[in-house]
Amino acid sequence: MQTTSTPSPPTTPGGDPRPSARPRLVLSRYTTLLGFGAGALVLFVVAPVLLSEFRLGLLAKFLTFAIVAVGIGLAWGRGGMLTLGQGVFFGLGAYMMAMHMKLADATISGGPGTLPDFMQLGGQRELPGFWLPFTSPLVTLLAIVLVPTSLALLLGLGIFKRRVKGAYFAILSQALAAAFAILLISQQNTLGGSNGISYFRTWFGFNLRDPANQQMLYFIAAGTLLVIMAITWQVMRSRYGELLIAVRDQEERVRFLGYDPANIKLVAYVIAALWASIAGALFVPIVGIITPQDVGVLASIAFIIGVAIGGRTTLLGPVLGAIAIAWAQTSLSEQFPSAWTYAQGALFVLVVGFLPGGIASLIVWRRRGKQADQSKEASA
* Contact (CB, 8 A) for 36 and 226: yes
pLDDT tens, residue by residue, 151-161: 999 999 999 99
Q: How far is CA 240 from the centre of its chain?
A: 19
Beta strands in the chain (DSSP E): 197-198, 202-203, 206-207, 289-290
Map residue 198 onto helix, strand or coil. strand
Backbone angles phi, psi at 362, to 5 degrees: -65, -40
For 207, which DSSP code? E
Distances (CA, A) of 72 to 55, 69, 101, 102, 174: 26, 5, 28, 30, 14
Return contacts of 111-116, CB within 8 angstroms, 24+ apart.
Answer: 116/197
The pLDDT value recorded for residue 368 is 57
The pLDDT value recorded for residue 15 is 45
* Nearest-angstrom CA–CA distance, 312 and 356: 9
The pLDDT value recorded for residue 23 is 53
The pLDDT value recorded for residue 364 is 57
* Nearest-angstrom CA–CA distance, 326 and 340: 11
* Nearest-angstrom CA–CA distance, 54 and 198: 19
According to DSSP, the residues that pair with 289 across neighbouring strands are: 198
| Residues counted in the chain | 380
* Contact (CB, 8 A) for 237 and 128: no
Q: How many CA atoms lie within 13 A of 245 on its CB side?
A: 10
The pLDDT value recorded for residue 159 is 93
Distances (CA, A) of 323 to 56, 81, 94, 318: 13, 22, 19, 9
The pLDDT value recorded for residue 363 is 62
pLDDT tens, residue by residue, 340-362: 777 777 777 777 777 777 776 66
- What residue ranges of the chain have pLDDT lower than 50? 1-21, 25-26
The pLDDT value recorded for residue 298 is 86
